[in-house]
A and B are shown apart, each in its own frame.
Chain A
Amino acid sequence: MANVPLLDQKDSRSGFGAGLLELGKRDPNVVALCADLTGSLKMDAFAKAFPERFFQMGVAEANMMGVAAGLTIGGKIPFTGTFANFSTGRVYDQIRQSIAYAGKNVKICASHAGLTLGEDGATHQILEDIGLMKMLPGMTVIVPCDFNQTKQATIAIGAHEGPVYLRFGRPKWPVFIPADMPFEIGKAQILVEGSDVSIFACGHLVWRALQAAEELANAGIKAEVINVHTIKPLDEATVLASVRKTGCAVSCEEHNRFGGLGDSIAQVLALKQPLPMEFVAVNDSFGESGTPDQLLQKYGLDVPDIVAAAQRALKRK
């Protein structure tokens, strides 16, 4: 990649594990709970380093959310770990009442989100979780794009007061965010500057968006690529400044087109700067078994899909 060099290939869940361990060393109030997925969530290092602050909760996610809420009463900062589906849909009412409505300082950390979970198939590939979480008043929703950013975000949410949903994934994926790049909750990052079309992406699709921007550049189209790692609160100022410059927008996410990043950006555009916008997202369907690359291709989330969406948006200007 010309503008954004590839640094490594690592899974973002390992970034979570590394961040949690670091945070455990920094803050004695940080505690962690896991629902029988310690290895999958890469929480082993924390559990080994701080056994008195790690709680194995078994396959009982509802109880885990309630216990986490209770731990905040006493000043603890609980991080829960399980797959994204079991972190949200399975325990929505527990999160809604005992964490969000009650205003508790729980960090809900969710791995294996989206299609890139791969072969496990649709039961585990939740594509609705961003929507579920962003609808809860007071919930911060963060979808970091690679290993380094997931580590940075994990550390950042430890210092943030209030409930947070942190979404990351399973597969090894390009690492391109420098380890020392500042991470600020709610502050989107312009990774590539451009003047023709704004591409807003989150999570694993940020790298795909960078690849698409390069293809567009080869065709003489200057795409601006913005990593919107925080879906809520959305960085409206950065979104608006970009679209006022480019005149059109594309959103890219590993999520249903209803309820995700695209919806949030479209609402800002509708209210403050009506402009053409296209959506790269799963078209209101469930996923299926396959490799991550096969699934992104089949469900329309790959580089050619982003390029085509950008061209459609440009034509509508």
Chain B
Amino acid sequence: MTKPAPAAASSVSTDELDSICSQVRRDIVRMVHGCQSGHPGASLGCTEFFVALYWSILRHDPKAFSMDGIGQDLFFLSNGHISPVWYSVLAHSGYFPVKELATFRKLDSRLQGHPTTHEGLPGIRMASGSLGQGLSVGIGAALAKKLNGDPHLVFTLHGDGELQEGQIWEAAMSAPRHKVDNLIATVDWNGRQIDGDVDDVMPLGDLPAKWKAFGWDVLICNGNDMAELLATLNEAKSRTGKGLPIVILMRTEMGQGVDFMVGSHEWHGIPPNDEQLARALAQLPETLGDY
């Protein structure tokens, strides 16, 4: 059973979106369990964002996917390792069959460990995985929209650990220079990365002040609160076209939705075993139907 995504900002209720999140989280833990590989932590933490984006914010048509994306809003996942959440949301919103989620990270699959255009999976317009590159790509795509007279928007997502890459700040510097005001970048501000807390590994300092200093319009929200997230995304949309690029810093919890995974970096990149899978699924009602 798939739930088609609407072509424009929709009237899907917060309760319905939260219900979809439960299914997406089931998919995430089942996918990484199925291949005993992958990154469940931040996938779970960003579930509300992906569901809000694909069911309520993006103006897109899953059945008319084209690489150039003219006439549609675009999304680029820069922290490609959280592919499970993206694949689940793309499948349930109609880009490809839900049953294909069972092939994640397996030989001959279109669902590679990190997202890619190489296998022709609908919904994906850029390879990502090597961190720090997606903001530049989003800026380029946004500039192309301006050249084409296309009023649609470009969204990107980045991990907070990813912000340690220098290219991110090259890109941050360039967006105001070229008045890229049709771009909404978002950051999964969970404070954790593979080796531990971001503050221990390589502190980001005053993150909102840094983005502001680079010339961005900065919004902050709780990325695990669907109502607050939706309001913030809509506020960001209302601020486009005003000369500044926009960034939303989303406070999230890595592992959100599974009690023994939440709030720790330990589940950044390891899969659950059979017993852990059962415990996780018991907390996550099946709402759209398992693959």
Contacts and interface: CB of A to CB of B under 8 A. Distances in A.
A50 to B, nearest CB: 11
A53 B126 CA distance: 22
Contact of B171 (A52, A66, A75, A101): A66
A258 interface: no
Contacts of B127: 97-98, 101-102
A102 B68 CA distance: 13
A294 interface: no
B118 A103 contact: yes
Contact of A52 (B69, B76, B147, B177): B147
Given A63-B174, A97-B129, A73 B136 contact: no
Contact of B144 (A57, A58, A70, A98): A70
Nearest to B138: A70
Interface in A173-229: none
Given A102-B127, A103-B117, A75 B137 contact: no
A192 to B, nearest CB: 43
A69 B260 CA distance: 40
Nearest to A93: B130
A53 B128 CA distance: 26
B145 interface: yes
Contact of B137 (A52, A56, A69, A103): A69
A3 to B, nearest CB: 46
Given A66-B140, A70-B126, A97-B130, 7 more contacts: A63-B170, A64-B136, A69-B136, A73-B74, A73-B144, A74-B147, A103-B118
Interface string A60-101: 101111111111111110100000000000000110111001
Contacts of A57: 174
Contacts of A76: 144, 147
A55 B178 CA distance: 8
A143 interface: no
B197 interface: no
Contact of A71 (B69, B132, B140): B140
B170 to A, nearest CB: 4
B174 A67 contact: yes
B128 A97 contact: yes
Contact of B133 (A56, A58, A97): A97
B70 A68 contact: no
Contacts of B130: 93, 96-97
B11 to A, nearest CB: 30
Nearest to A59: B170
Contact of A67 (B125, B126, B136, B145): B136
9 contacts: A62-B170, A67-B139, A67-B171, A69-B136, A94-B136, A97-B128, A101-B118, A102-B118, A103-B118
Given A94-B133, A101-B118, A102-B117, A70 B174 contact: no
Interface residues of A, number: 32
A250 interface: no
Contacts of B147: 31, 52-53, 74, 76
Contacts of A53: 147
A139 to B, nearest CB: 14
B148 interface: yes
A94 B166 CA distance: 12
A52 B147 CA distance: 8
List the 4 closest A-B pairs by CB distance, nearest first.
A70-B140, A66-B136, A74-B144, A63-B170
Nearest to B154: A70
Nearest to B132: A62
A141 B143 CA distance: 27
B90 to A, nearest CB: 17
B16 to A, nearest CB: 31
A65 B174 CA distance: 13
Interface in A19-41: 31
Given A75-B70, A75-B148, A103-B118, A70 B129 contact: no
Given A58-B174, A101-B116, A102-B117, A63 B136 contact: yes
B174 A98 contact: no
Contacts of B118: 101-103
Contacts of A74: 68-70, 141, 144-145, 147-148, 150
Nearest to A52: B147
A62 B177 contact: no
A58 B145 contact: no
A60 B170 contact: yes
